[in-house]
Amino acid sequence: MTENTANTGLAHIGVVGLAVMGSNLARNFASRGHTVALYNRTYEKTAVLMHEHGADGNFIPSKSIEEFVASLERPRRAIIMVQAGPATDAVINQLAAAMEEGDIIIDGGNALYTDTVRREREISAKGLHFVGAGISGGEEGALNGPAIMPGGTKESYESLGPLLESISAVVDGTPCCTHIGPDGAGHFVKMVHNGIEYADMQVIGEAYHLLRYAAGMEPAEIADVFKEWNTGDLDSYLVEITSEVLSQVDAETGKPLIDVIVDAAGQKGTGRWTVKAALDLGIATTGIGEAVFARALSGARTQRAATIGNLPSGEVTTLEAQGVDKTQFVEDVRRALYASKLVAYAQGFDEIKAGSEEHEWDVDPRDLATIWRGGCIIRAKFLNRIKDAYDTNPEVESLLLDPYFKEEIEGLMDSWRRVVVLATQLGLPIPVFASSLSYYDSLRAERLPAALIQGQRDFFGAHTYERTDKPGKFHTQWSADRTEIEA
């Protein structure tokens, strides 16, 4: 129980919206000794929660928003866990109408950060605080310890932070929750976190696909490979659950479950938002982009029904025909996965840096590498390395330039290239492996074909170009005598 209010009988925090995430979060608060106010639009969910878990802690259920607000200690802190979009706006407005100056409204859903920026502006004009907080970890995380990324004012974090830190995951004694920055900063970094998650899942998927369809391994065998990988550089929640999924046998058919799951991936939108924001910011998040497109393509079921088996492959080969040793191939795939993952994370952090600069949020990337180590879906040992990289040089132009990662990539390079070439020769899709390698080669290239693009742009649209040998902007008079003029 928080010290200052131990005996007021009022709740320390309230949760509005008691679907799975909301009720698990409420239970998590209660399990840490906090008194939790509860409200859901329809009372049924509140009643179910009270019936099933009411005895697990101190809850104050309410049937109206006014009653709910009155049950909170001041400054009131209410976390909204309802559907993103209009439902969130509706609840914010109801709460704002019933609250008083200094109270804090927290949106714990996956809101689009631009909505959070707008809401913060509107709510702060009423003298209230509005905190957009990204919460990651799924249902299990919400109940036992998520990673939490709160935005909003520093002042609101002083009151709210200790409560959120008390329910978050903890790694090496550090809570996986910290103040990210003003207004939409928390939801922005949560969005990019989800984008990185898309890329991470896709590279794991590509590795699985190669082991299965290039090396001809069975799912159970591949499950063991992932289990083994989980003891090294790739140690992460996603690799761990991959092994679990691949070893699952379908009770109905006796087949590996993976073989009876339809290969059309769903998405709720945060990956797409990450790519849209990256496009607006001019940041090349190719890994996340390819991962989002890969899901879209997998889900284009009508198109695939027409194309599967109906498009020529050209001459494709096999590992045996290429004389590739299977053990070496498995290790090559692991390295290609790791290298592509490094690129995707580097790109995600680039986007966060660009977003932070654009919105003047002053987000510290070290904070993210720290709090993402636990609770969230992309939690991984490897995040410690990212933190170290930013500790070494907070201004590093790309994580790929960090001495540790540079050395790692050097050791992965040959395998990565071999896998991309082989997969292409075998006719197997590897959108993130391949695009990450192209991105990497682009970053280190002395010359890019962009010079030609500038020439073309100048030719058809007089868009001008810069010269390598002197400052200024120039135009070649293409349709006249082709002499160059300074623009």
Among all residues, which ones are annotated catalytic? 190, 197
Smaller CB separation from ligand ATR, 197 or 206 = 197
Smaller CB separation from ligand ATR, 7 or 42 = 42
Contacts of 104 (CB under 8 A, 6+ apart): 75, 76, 77, 78, 128, 129, 130, 131, 152, 156, 159, 160
Smaller CB separation from ligand ATR, 97 or 462 = 97
Residues in 89-148 at the binding interface with ligand ATR, rule: CB under 6 A: 90-91
Q: Is 28 annotated as a binding residue?
A: no
With CB under 6 A as the rule, give the number of residues binding ligand ATR. Answer: 14
Piece of 86-94, 171-179, 247-255, 334-342 that binds ligand ATR (CB under 6 A) = 86-94
Residues in 11-30 at the binding interface with ligand ATR, rule: CB under 6 A: 17-21
Smaller CB separation from ligand ATR, 65 or 196 = 65
User: Which token pair is 275?
Assistant: 């790519």
Q: Is 186 annotated as a binding residue?
A: no
User: Which token pair is 409?
Assistant: 């990539």
Q: Is 475 annotated as a binding residue?
A: no
For residues 432 and 285, what is the distance between their CA atoms, to the nearest angstrom? Answer: 11
- Apex 244 CA angle, 241 and 246, nearest 5: 110
| Contact call for residues 407 and 177 (beta carbons, < 8 A) | no
Distance in Å, CB of 86 to ligand ATR, minimum: 7
For residues 357 and 354, what is the distance between their CA atoms, to the nearest angstrom? Answer: 5
Helix (H/G/I), strand (E/B), else coil: 77: strand
For residues 137 and 140, what is the distance between their CA atoms, to the nearest angstrom? Answer: 7
Q: How many Cβ atoms are within 10 Å of 221's Cβ, its own excluded?
A: 15
Distance in Å, CB of 81 to ligand ATR, minimum: 7
User: Which token pair is 372?
Assistant: 């993402």
| Contact call for residues 400 and 346 (beta carbons, < 8 A) | yes
Q: Is 125 annotated as a binding residue?
A: no
Among 10, 47, 70, 87, binds ligand ATR (CB under 6 A): 87
For residues 348 and 464, what is the distance between their CA atoms, to the nearest angstrom? Answer: 32
Q: Is 138 annotated as a binding residue?
A: yes
Smaller CB separation from ligand ATR, 89 or 228 = 89
Residues in 26-55 at the binding interface with ligand ATR, rule: CB under 6 A: 40-42, 45
Which residues line the annotated binding site for NADP(+)?
Answer: 17-22, 40-42, 82-84, 110
Residues that bind ligand ATR (CB under 6 A): 17-21, 40-42, 45, 82-83, 87, 90-91
Which residues line the annotated binding site?
Answer: 17-22, 40-42, 82-84, 110, 136-138, 193-194, 198, 268, 295, 457, 463
